Structure formats: C-alpha cells, structure tokens
C-alpha cells in the first residue's frame, strides 16, 4: 500500500485493486444524481443505472473496511432511503443518521428550499469500533442555561443535527453550541477551490476526529475537491483518495501541498468502544471513570 496518495480513474476499479480490510474510515460523498455539472462525470443517469452503480461502489468500499472500521456516506433526499437499505444489506450497523443543515441552501421556486443533506454513520462491528468523545464534547444546557449541579462537568456529546454558521469562530463550533449548522462552501469562502460540490472542512473534521485515531487510515472514493484528504493530513491520519477527473485531481494535489500536519497538543483520548457491563452505562455515557460511580 502507498499511503497519503491520490489515485485517478474509476473508483470501483481503484477500490477493487486495494487489499481487503485496510481502511479504518471510508467517507463517501458520491454524486447525488440530480444534475450537478461536473467536468467528466454525467450526473443524470437513469434510476436503475444509478442504483446498480451504487451497489457496486458500496460493495467495493465495504470490502476494504477493517473489521473495526467506520463507513460514512453523504447523500441527498432523492436516494437516502435506497442508500440506507443497501448499507444495511452489507452487514453494517448504523450508529447515527445525521442531518446536516446548511445555510446558503439551494433556492427553489416550487417547493421548500433545499438546506440539508443526510450523513449515514455505519460500523463494521456493532461492538468494536473507534469513537473518541473528548474531541467533540460540548457544554450541555444544564451547564450553560440552568446551572444544574447534575450536569456532567465534561459536557455532552453533540446532537445528530449539525449546524455551523459562517460567522462563527475558526474553531468551527461555539463553546455553548450543541448542534452542527454548517454552511455550504460558497464562492466567497476562503475554503473554496472551484469544485462544484465542495464539502466543508468542519464536517470532515468532526467525523475524522471522532471515528479515527492519529495514524489511522482514511479513504475517500470520490475525492472531489480534496476536503477529506486535506483534513486527514492536517489531523495526522494516513489517507488515500480516488478521483475520476484529472483536472479535479490536479486541484487536490495543489491543495494538499498547502496543508501541514497539526502537531499541537491533542485533546483526543483514543478509545475502542466495548460492551457495557453492569455499573458502566452511566460512566461511559458521561465520559467518567468507572470508580466515579461509587
């Protein structure tokens, strides 16, 4: 395996050429089949053709997941149900169905404006998987609003609706926020690369920090603008991407040259989840040590 690399070509062919069970995290943001204007890929296929292709790339991605690996898929309303059924059929276990609400949504004329996407979070093993809580905790309403002494002093895990507004801090999330409202990457944003369907770094940062550890392997079979790879490099994960377009691939390589790994003090506590035993439920949920239950 050659890591920290970008392969060009068909994602299914490239995935099938990789060794099995090598990826700690697969993040996929495939074409939604709603007519985006890519430079090579045609985003208007017949429904049957699109779903048959989806079956093939999902199976290819599933093959390269480690037994303790995670699989995230971003998709729009049109095929969210079909994607979930297919992920279930691959023997994976769903941990969350996250709704990403974004500002600067798509303006519509004869229906409600499009302002969200679906993020499916699945794992290969229902009992053994990486989930780092300390990197993503936020103060709870019990702490910030009610001053409730029963509040967990280390905060709570965020909700499964994500919102980040462009005026918020460079750290992406305000200290007292517990939802993710994350804007799409618009033309005036510093992140913008020119790709027609660019994922914000804030989304990938939370996904990678929570479901992988430093040094783990991250795969993006639809590299697009290179956001997954850029964030993985910054967070010191090994990465591998696949991109169909030579022009987009050149843009990704240019972007990666500007990214430096972050060797600052990590707030991450690396953990592998394990089955709860009597006396552990509240401890693990609260992020406290077992002895603190006494």
Reading phi first (left if > 0) and then psi (alpha if -120 to 50, else beta), residue 212 is in: beta
**CA dist., res. 226 & res. 199, Å (int):** 9
Q: What is the mean pLDDT of residues 14-42?
A: 95
| Better-predicted residue by pLDDT, 113 or 173 | 113
Among 71-80, 200-209, 213-222, 228-237, whose mean pLDDT is lowest? 200-209
Q: Order of strands across the sheet with 114-123?
A: 5-8, 238-243, 217-220, 23-28, 65-75, 114-123, 93-106, 161-164, 180-182
| Better-predicted residue by pLDDT, 80 or 160 | 80
CA angle 240, 191, 186 (to 5 degrees): 120
pLDDT over 70 for what percent of the chain? 77
**CA dist., res. 203 & res. 197, Å (int):** 14
Q: Specify the pLDDT at position 200.
A: 87
pLDDT tens across 100-129, in order?
Answer: 988 766 677 888 888 889 999 999 999 999
**CA dist., res. 267 & res. 57, Å (int):** 35
Q: Do residues 221 and 242 make contact, with C-beta atoms less than 8 angstroms apart? A: yes
Residue 270, SS3 per DSSP: coil
- pLDDT > 60? residue 177: no
Q: What is the mean pLDDT of residues 203-223?
A: 96
Q: Find the helix or strand (DSSP H, E) in which 27 lies.
A: strand 23-28
For 50, phi and psi rounded to 5 degrees? -65, -45
Q: What is the mean pLDDT of residues 44-59?
A: 97
- pLDDT > 90? residue 85: yes
For 130, phi and psi rounded to 5 degrees? -85, 130
Q: Specify the pLDDT at position 182.
A: 53
- Quote the mean pLDDT of the chain: 82
pLDDT class for 142, splitting at 50, 70, 90? Answer: confident
| Better-predicted residue by pLDDT, 170 or 115 | 115
pLDDT tens across 129-139, in order?
Answer: 999 998 888 78
Q: Determine what percent of the chain falls in helix, strand and coil, rounding each to the nearest 5.
A: 30, 25, 50
- pLDDT > 60? residue 196: no
Q: What is the mean pLDDT of residues 178-191?
A: 48
107 contact partners, CB below 8 Å, separation of at least 6: 113
Domains of the chain: 5-293 (3.40.50.150)
28 contact partners, CB below 8 Å, separation of at least 6: 57, 61, 71, 72, 73, 74, 220, 221, 222
pLDDT class for 140, splitting at 50, 70, 90? Answer: confident
- pLDDT > 50? residue 186: no
Q: Do residues 130 and 68 make contact, with C-beta atoms less than 8 angstroms apart? A: yes
For 107, phi and psi rounded to 5 degrees? -75, 130
Q: Specify the pLDDT at position 164.
A: 60
pLDDT tens across 217-262, in order?
Answer: 999 999 999 999 999 999 999 999 999 999 999 999 999 999 999 9
Q: What is the pTM of this model?
A: 0.80
């Amino acid at each position: 395996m050659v890591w920290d690399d970008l392969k060009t070509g068909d994602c299914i062919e490239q995935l099938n050429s990789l060794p099995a069970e090598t990826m700690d995290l697969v993040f996929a943001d495939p074409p939604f089949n709603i007519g985006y204007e890519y430079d090579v890929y045609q985003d208007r296929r017949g429904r049957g053709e699109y779903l048959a292709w989806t079956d093939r790339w999902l199976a290819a991605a599933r093959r390269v997941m480690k037994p303790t690996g995670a699989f995230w898929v971003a998709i729009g309303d049109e095929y969210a149900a079909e994607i979930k059924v297919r992920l279930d059929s691959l023997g994976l276990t769903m941990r969350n169905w996250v709704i990403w609400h974004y500002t600067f949504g798509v303006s519509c004329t004869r229906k409600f404006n499009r302002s969200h996407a679906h993020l499916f979070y699945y794992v290969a093993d229902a009992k053994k998987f990486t989930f780092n809580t300390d990197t993503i905790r936020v103060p709870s309403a019990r702490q910030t609003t009610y001053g409730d002494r029963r509040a967990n002093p280390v905060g709570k895990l965020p909700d499964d609706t994500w919102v980040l507004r462009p005026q918020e801090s460079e750290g992406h999330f305000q200290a007292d926020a517990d939802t993710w409202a994350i804007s799409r990457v618009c033309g005036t944003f510093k992140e913008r690369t020119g790709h027609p369907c660019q994922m914000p770094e804030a989304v990938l940062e939370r996904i990678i920090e929570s479901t992988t550890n430093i040094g783990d392997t991250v795969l993006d079979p639809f590299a697009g603008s290179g956001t997954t790879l850029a964030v993985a490099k910054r967070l010191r994960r090994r990465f591998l991407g696949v991109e169909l377009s030579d022009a987009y691939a050149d843009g990704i390589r240019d972007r990666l040259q500007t990214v430096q790994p972050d060797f600052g003090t990590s707030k991450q506590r690396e953990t592998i989840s394990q089955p709860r035993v009597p006396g552990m439920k509240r401890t693990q949920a609260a992020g406290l040590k077992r002895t603190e239950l006494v």
